[in-house]
Amino acid sequence: MTDLDVDALIDDTETRIIITCGSGGVGKTTTAAALGLRAAERGRKVVVLTIDPARRLAQSLGLTELDNTPRSVAEVNAVNGGRLDAMMLDMKRTFDEVVLAHATPEKAEQILANPFYQALSSSFAGTQEYMAMEKLGQLHKQAERTGDWDLIVVDTPPSRSALDFLDAPERLASLLEGRFLRLLLAPARGPLRLMSAGVNMAMSVLNKVLGAQVLTDVQTFVAAFDTLFGGFRQRAEQTVALLRESHTAFLVVASPQNDALREASYFTERLREEGMPLAGVVLNRVTTTHAPELSAERSLAAAERLDEADKSPLAAAVLRLHADKMHQVVGDHKRADRFRRGHRSIPTVEVPALADDVHDLTGLRQIGELLTA
């Protein structure tokens, strides 16, 4: 069981990309923002890409609008020569930009106006993950070209499963290049005789069920999108290659609950399979106390004695609170410890739970301190 040295990670100039991932609700975004701020105040030039942050956290970074562009965060202590930019991902706009960059103006216009493109770019289950990776690729290129940043910190989408974001690019690419779309394209390209009887029947069924107009919309979309097809898989592969490089570091974030820890296990396992560099696991929001010597049982018993004697209800209430707290402390530690013992080779760091949500830079600095304590 080893400790994760977060300061060593962010101070290492070889670390160029940090990705925080984990299941929803474990504090990924806050961790990403806190890391970015700490790295900036220790002298790195940082950009933080957040996805769907809580309102107060967004405000703490000065992110008031979703405009898909990094904005400088004021009030960062720049005494060490660092700086911090932050941005919120706008997935539709990012997708539009990809289309605009890779298609001729007329084609781009056709694609952007197509109802099926609009559905895909705003609500396909994997689009957000895909676009987060796309944006990371763009920021990385910009960083190399302009030297604006030497560290990119990326938060991952609040997926149902932490694995979604690794799978989504491939899923989207394979759908866009899949046999069915090829098939839909075929009539637009010509020789129908190439189709088998089964396929012909399939097409006629689709016509019947969807109505000819819907099918035409899909075909138009596919035809217009065709120019981008090769590009999509290539881009997905490039991004995945970028993630495998040694200057990328994955940080898996988990709260000490069974579901989140199970997700974290799957995720660390998957990263290893894919050959992606895992820096460690942040065990976040672990309940702590300065009075572990007063156990839940003794605390409750003392409260009951006071009740029976009809004495000091205030002291009894405070003891009950402590008993609740001790239950959580013991449970959290048991689960966190079990996780560490089950993953001896993975460096971990524990971050104690705070009473309040983070809503300003002071709060983020505090998390940064706790991450490196």
The residues that touch another protein, with contacts defined as CB under 8 A, are: 24-25, 54-56, 115-116, 119-120, 123-125, 158, 160, 171, 175, 178-181, 183, 198-199, 201-202, 205-206, 208-211, 213-214, 217-218, 289-291, 293-294, 298-299, 302-303, 305-306, 309, 311-312, 314-322, 324-325, 327, 355-357
Q: Where are the beta strands (DSSP E) in the chain?
A: 17-21, 45-50, 71-72, 83-88, 151-155, 248-254, 278-286, 348-352
Q: Which is nearer to another protein, 39 or 58 (CB)?
A: 58
Least Å from the CB of residue 270 to another protein: 18
* CA 129 to the chain's CA centroid: 8
CB of 35 or CB of 184, closer to another protein:
184
Which CB, 240 or 306, lies closer to another protein?
306
Rounded-to-integer distance, Cα 167 and Cα 178, Å: 16
Q: Which of 347, 222, 193 is nearest to 282 (CA)?
A: 347
Residue 282 burial by Cβ neighbours in a 10 Å radius (0-12, 13-18, 19+): buried
Q: Compute the least distance from the CB of residue 324 to another protein, in Å.
A: 8
- E strands along 237-293, which residues? 248-254, 278-286
CA atoms within 13 A on the CB side of 81: 4
- Neighbouring CB atoms inside 10 A of 350's CB total 22
**Cβ at position 363, least distance to another protein in Å:** 13
Residue 60 CB, nearest approach to another protein (Å): 13
Q: Can you list the pairs that 74-83 forms with residues at least 24 positions away whose Cβ atoms lie under 8 Å?
A: 75/361, 76/37, 76/40, 76/41, 76/361, 77/41, 78/40, 78/41, 79/41, 80/41, 80/42, 80/43, 81/43, 82/39, 82/40, 82/41, 82/42, 82/43, 82/44, 82/45, 82/46, 83/40, 83/45, 83/46
The span from the CA of 127 to the CA of 369, in Å, is 34
Rank residues 78 and 291 by Cβ distance to another protein and give the closer one.
291
Of 245 and 304, nearer to another protein (C-beta) is: 304
Judged by beta carbon, residue 273 or residue 356, the one nearer another protein is 356
Neighbours of 370 (CB within 10 A): 18
Sheet-wide strand order for 151-155? 71-72, 83-88, 45-50, 151-155, 17-21, 248-254, 278-286, 348-352
Task: Give least dist CB 125 to another protein, A.
Answer: 7
Residue 339 C-beta: closest distance to another protein, Å: 18
Q: Nearest distance from residue 124's CB to another protein, in Å?
A: 6
Mention every residue, 6+ apart, whose C-beta is less than 8 A from residue 356.
Answer: 363
Distance CA 151, CA 147 (A): 10
Query: Is the CB of 313 or the CB of 342 nearer to another protein?
Result: 313
- From the list 370, 361, 371, 373, the residue with the least C-alpha distance to 37 is 361
* Residue 317: CB minimum distance to another protein, A: 4
The least distance separating another protein from the CB of residue 72, rounded to whole angstroms, comes to 26
74 or 209: CB nearest another protein: 209
Name the residue nearer to another protein (CB basis): 66 or 242.
66
Q: Which is nearer to another protein, 74 or 314 (CB)?
A: 314
* Least distance between another protein and beta carbon 302 (Å): 4
